[in-house]
Amino acid sequence: MEKQKRGLAKYFWQVTYAHTIAYFIAGVFAVFVMDYEALWETEAIGSFMRPIDEPLVAIGPALNIFRGMLYALIFLPLRKPLFEEKHGLLKLGGLLIGLTYMATFGPGVGSFEGFIYTIIPFQYQIRGIPEMLIWVSLFVGILYFSIKYAHKKVATISPIVLVLLIIFMGITGFIAAAAGYAPPFM
């Protein structure tokens, strides 16, 4: 029973940190490479997105720890086929792309529903695809290595350090944005 509890806690931690780290890296890519700041200032996107220098946006990556926990909870009934069977993580990647981007319940930007029911131009609809693919690839890749190398110290310590850094950056970004300080890159 004790081993089962440890296994469950480890599973929740792995999914949580894999999502948090992947989300952060994909977000940094989106902001710096895809120039999301300029995108969010357009009329089509800026009408429903918070400005990139708002405190809540700054702390967003740190808050994604909770979203990672939610993913772990959602995938829990599918834990064996997705996390323990051969090619399970590839199936997870396909499910994530399908359910969180292509087949959303509502008309999200870039979703099937969004293409049909929103007036958001096509070039904005497809703009998030690279970020989504990076996030899914990193999420699945981090999970793969965390499962395969769970016995290695680096697989235990690295995620702790990275998540703590993301939390620290989120909190300091929140404080800076609340104080009205915009970093030089914004």
Q: Identify the residue whose tokens are 């004790």.
A: 2
User: What pLDDT is attached to residue 43?
Assistant: 84
- pLDDT tens-digit readout, 90-145: 999 999 999 888 888 888 888 888 888 988 888 888 888 899 999 999 999 999 99
* Domain count across the chain: 1
Tell whether the model's pLDDT for residue 52 goes beyond 80.
Answer: yes
pLDDT at 185 over 60: no
Percent of the chain whose predicted confidence (pLDDT) is above 90: 60
Give the DSSP letter of residue 125.
H
Residue 153 falls inside a structural domain: yes
In a domain, 104, yes or no: yes
Residue 186 lies in a domain: no
184 within some domain: no
CB atoms under 10 Å from CB of 163, counted, come to: 20
Mean pLDDT of the chain: 90
Query: Is 143 within a domain?
Result: yes
Token pair for 87 = 């090619």
- Residue 92's domain spans which residues? 2-178
Residue 183 forms part of a structural domain: no
| CA pair distance 173, 57, nearest whole angstrom | 9
**185 occurs within a structural domain:** no
- Evaluate if residue 186 carries a pLDDT over 60: no
Output Rg (C-alpha) for the chain, integer angstroms. 18
Mean pLDDT, residues 167-182: 91
Give residue 61's pLDDT. 94
**Structural domain contains residue 125:** yes
Query: Mean of the pLDDT values across residues 24-28?
Result: 95
> What is the reported pTM?
0.90
- Phi/psi of residue 37, nearest 5 degrees: -60, -45
